[in-house]
Structure 1
Amino acid sequence: MKRLIYSFVILFAFNGCKEEGRIDFIDDQASAPTPVEIKNVKNISGGAIITYDIPSDHNLLGVKAVYVRNGKTVETKGSLYVDTLIVEGFGNTNEQEIELFSIGRNEKLSSPVSVKISPLAPPVQLVKFDLEAGFGGVVVGLDENKTNADLSIVLLADTMGNGKYVDMQTFHTKSGKIKFSRRGLKIQPSKFGLYLRDRWNNVSDTIYRELTPIEEVKIPSDLFRNAALPTDYFLTAEGNTGYRLEQLWLGADASDNAFYASSHSAPMPQWFTIDLGRRVSISRIQKWPRPEYELYSSTAPRTFEVWGSEAPNPNGSFDDSWFLIGEFEQFKPSGYGEGREVGPVTDEDKDYWYNRTEFDVIPTAKAPDPYRPVTHLRIRVTSTFQTYGTETNRSQIIIAQLAFWGQLK
């Protein structure tokens, strides 16, 4: 008998330790939860932040706001652990009525609490944008997107000359200030349009421009050579000739495993000079990384400068014989973090890194006349992804290929 009782106790203990699925008891008969009490409304661009007191109700699951946006009834929900809801996506500054409901665990709703909001102007009305002629096409630009809103920039063109505009290309960005180029267009007067659209399909007014793209060609590399000025740094990793500077423009003539790689722990910043062998002006620069490596990391250049000269000082100094063409940073379509950290890398980032990285030359305060003719280019790498934001002043640099576009003079 004792043995039987002992066995039963063990069996009970064993079964009692088995992990069971969670069972939440929901009382369908419970009454609807207590309504919220509105504490504050802060109007923001395209919406409002609504703060409320959370009801002390054991049956409370959360809170939701119900409102009409662009002709459709939509909802925004929050859990019982937050006392704020953001309603957004309004395309104008008209007064809007928002209804808030407490949600019970049994899905019953409290009686509504109504609140009025007056959204500030939405991003599509606030952000300045423009369109201008560029090399090989047009340049689309946002001046200041202080809202950091996720916007689409829609480029239109009257392709048939009949006054009917069709979508040509759509650019997407959250950046505060950015320019995009659409190239491959005919060098003739053409009519274009441009407008902004947000993710709720609110749109700005459309601006129209008649522009003539500027002729642009790829600068032939047949006469390129390493100028090898005294202050230049172009020592290769392990002294391997497969990593020499000339690999930057050999392109298809180079072996699959050939690229430029400076020696390990080289001083930063470091620069090299290319004799172009002809007189040109530069409109953009294309860069290719080592295949399948340095994805927004390691020894790839993150920031660099491009300088131009028609008669560089043979002592290699940065004197008046050089002028600044531009300062550049590797673009990342999904953007860098608040602290400029790389952050997650998306498929779009990866595609841009390996296939579409380029840098447009545009006039700036530091480079007011970047299209002046040059015979020599000096690439000054100021940081790699390895050294950016650190006090490290030594790094290897690896670049697979460079190409330059502009005009022959």
Structure 2
Amino acid sequence: MERNLRKSFWVIMFSLVLTFVSCSEEKGPTPLENNPNGPGMVENITIENLSGKVKLTYELPDNQDLLYVKANYKLENGTEMEVKSSYYNNSMLLEGFAGGKEVNVKVTAVNRSEKSSVAKDITVSPLLAPIYGVFNSLETSVDFGGIRIKASNPTKENIALLVMTKNNTGDWEALRNSIYTSTDIINKNVRANAGSFESKPTQFAIVVRDRWLNVTDTLFTEITPLFEEKIPVSNYRPLRLDNDPASYPENRVEYLWDSQFGWPRVWVTLRSNPVPKHTVTMDMGTSARISRIHIWDYLEGGNYYYLGSMRKFRIWGIDSTPNQSGSLAGWTLLGDYTAVKPSGLPYGQQNNEDFLTAQAGVDYETRSDVNVRYIRIECLESWDGNSYMALSELLIYGKVN
């Protein structure tokens, strides 16, 4: 009996030692296979130099346990890059180059035991990155309260047009409302962080940057923004003309300038209303030449560019008291617009740029050579293909007479 107990004691102790050793040697996940020999080299690499990119096409080594091919390289700005491509593919795309210089790349095959082949050294010569084409297409001009920037981005790259002005200490500082986009045609007014720039000579500096932090040279320009002010909201009044459609009972026209967003403090007309084109009319309370109307669409269930938000619409203005019938005779067309979803995604879909653009509201520039006091917005087509309208807020800018 004593011998059995002694034997059991040593069995238990031996098991504990094995357990301790096993635990102490555990080093996390390890390859399922243990082939100490690396695969053969990647051969016959074909190099296609593209704008800011390089496409590699190659022959895979004949190894049963090949897992992937990887390329290691350093961008011109010093960033270390590694790209992997499955053994199912015989090509890979290397991105992030500024371009215009030769770059060394190491191409390696790796097996399922994470053993690498001898690296194949190649030299690539990517063409200049798309940001340089965008930079070369830059056009600037004077605009109300700011600077107008136009540029072409034909490959729809994710880029930033950083617009800088000098701060109080004389240093260049990027405006918070610089342009971040992936659209092909860029046409935007950039104003001061706190609103409009003063109508005095102002120096601007503009650079184009991509998501790999490649940056172009700087475009310097001096512009005197056109004078612009916000038409005082305290003077706004609703004006109901005979053919203006009914809204939901909870909504009021004056909610369009109360600085509150979300139901019910919005303006949404009834879809069932028989009027072919839905309108809303307001009195600014003063005669002015207006430069733009800033419109915030109604956020419906987390979606913009949706349901009754206006996709195609017109803005009208008149200085004298309008005809109560709602006839547009005597009104001046201030602008004909089509709202644009930056991503171009199908109806009901939006990306982050779409959401942020709509959340910030959109400026719709107007004809500014006529005096107007009354404003009428006419919805031609909502995003769901009807003509009812859904608006959250609006503000009007220009110069009071």
The alignment's TM-score, normalised by the length of structure 1, stands at 0.76
- 2:131 aligned counterpart, secondary structure: helix
- CA gap of 1:289–1:73, structure 2 versus 1, over 3 A, is closer
Amino acid at match of 2:224: T
Q: Note the alpha carbon deviations across 1:333-383, whole angstroms, 9 max, x for none.
A: xx342xx4453554x7556544x2131417xxxxxx555433333312233
- Matching residue within 136, 145, 148 for 2:156: 148
Q: Note the C-alpha offset of 1:45.
A: 1.0
Q: Are 1:361 and 2:365 matched, yes or no? A: yes
Q: Note the C-alpha offset of 1:180.
A: 4.4
- CA gap of 1:77–1:406, structure 2 versus 1, over 3 A, is same
- Matching residue within 89, 92, 106 for 2:99: 92
1:327 equivalent in structure 2: 337
Q: Note the C-alpha offset of 1:255.
A: 12
- 1:125 aligned counterpart, secondary structure: helix
C-alpha separation in 2, matches of 1:147 and 1:402: 33
1:43 equivalent in structure 2: 49
Q: Are 1:52 and 2:89 matched, yes or no? A: no
- CA gap of 1:281–1:65, structure 2 versus 1, over 3 A, is same
Q: Are 1:234 and 2:245 matched, yes or no? A: yes
Q: Note the C-alpha offset of 1:173.
A: 1.4
C-alpha separation in 1, matches of 2:388 and 2:333: 26
- CA gap of 1:205–1:291, structure 2 versus 1, over 3 A, is closer
Deviates more, 1:87-96 or 1:373-382: 373-382
2:4 equivalent in structure 1: none
C-alpha separation in 1, matches of 2:349 and 2:263: 30
- 2:161 aligned counterpart, secondary structure: strand
Q: Are 1:66 and 2:72 matched, yes or no? A: yes
Provide structure 2 residue ranges, at least 5 long, that are not aligned to the other structure.
Answer: 1-28
Question: Given that residues 68 and 110 in structure 2 are in contact (C-alpha distance below 8 angstroms), is that contact kept between their aligned partners in structure 1?
Answer: yes
Q: Are 1:110 and 2:140 matched, yes or no? A: no
1:276 equivalent in structure 2: 284
Question: Given that residues 248 and 401 in structure 1 are in contact (C-alpha distance below 8 angstroms), is that contact kept between their aligned partners in structure 2?
Answer: yes
C-alpha separation in 1, matches of 2:124 and 2:371: 57
Instruction: Give 1:207-286 correspondences, 5 Å limit.
Output: 207-221=219-233, 222=235, 224-226=237-239, 228=241, 232-237=243-248, 240=249, 242-249=250-257, 251=258, 257-266=264-273, 269-286=277-294
Question: Given that residues 312 and 321 in structure 1 are in contact (C-alpha distance below 8 angstroms), is that contact kept between their aligned partners in structure 2?
Answer: no
Q: Note the C-alpha offset of 1:209.
A: 1.2
- 2:138 aligned counterpart, secondary structure: strand
C-alpha separation in 2, matches of 1:244 and 1:215: 32
Q: Note the C-alpha offset of 1:115.
A: 3.6
1:191 equivalent in structure 2: 203
The alignment's TM-score, normalised by the length of structure 2, stands at 0.77
Q: Are 1:373 and 2:371 matched, yes or no? A: yes
1:287 equivalent in structure 2: 295
Q: Note the alpha carbon deviations across 1:228-282, whole angstroms, 9 max, x for none.
A: 26xx442223xx3x43444434x26999734322123346543334343432222
Q: Note the C-alpha offset of 1:149.
A: 1.3
Q: Note the C-alpha offset of 1:161.
A: 8.1
- Matching residue within 390, 393, 401 for 1:398: 390
Q: Note the C-alpha offset of 1:329.
A: 1.1
Question: Given that residues 191 and 211 in structure 1 are in contact (C-alpha distance below 8 angstroms), is that contact kept between their aligned partners in structure 2?
Answer: yes
1:181 equivalent in structure 2: 190
Q: Note the C-alpha offset of 1:66.
A: 1.8
C-alpha separation in 2, matches of 1:253 and 1:96: 54
| CA-atom RMSD in angstroms | 3.4
Instruction: Give 1:4-19 correspondences, 5 Å limit.
Output: none
Instruction: Give 1:294-305 correspondences, 5 Å limit.
Output: 295-296=303-304, 297-305=306-314
Q: Are 1:407 and 2:399 matched, yes or no? A: yes
- 1:243 aligned counterpart, secondary structure: coil
Question: Given that residues 268 and 383 in structure 1 are in contact (C-alpha distance below 8 angstroms), is that contact kept between their aligned partners in structure 2?
Answer: no
2:8 equivalent in structure 1: none
C-alpha separation in 2, matches of 1:36 and 1:94: 24
Question: Given that residues 106 and 119 in structure 2 are in contact (C-alpha distance below 8 angstroms), is that contact kept between their aligned partners in structure 1?
Answer: yes
- CA gap of 1:61–1:181, structure 2 versus 1, over 3 A, is same
Q: Note the C-alpha offset of 1:300.
A: 2.5
- Matching residue within 199, 215, 230 for 1:203: 215
1:28 equivalent in structure 2: 35
C-alpha separation in 2, matches of 1:321 and 1:121: 51
Q: Note the C-alpha offset of 1:216.
A: 1.7
C-alpha separation in 1, matches of 2:64 and 2:329: 75
Amino acid at match of 1:302: R
Q: Note the C-alpha offset of 1:321.
A: 4.8
Amino acid at match of 1:375: R
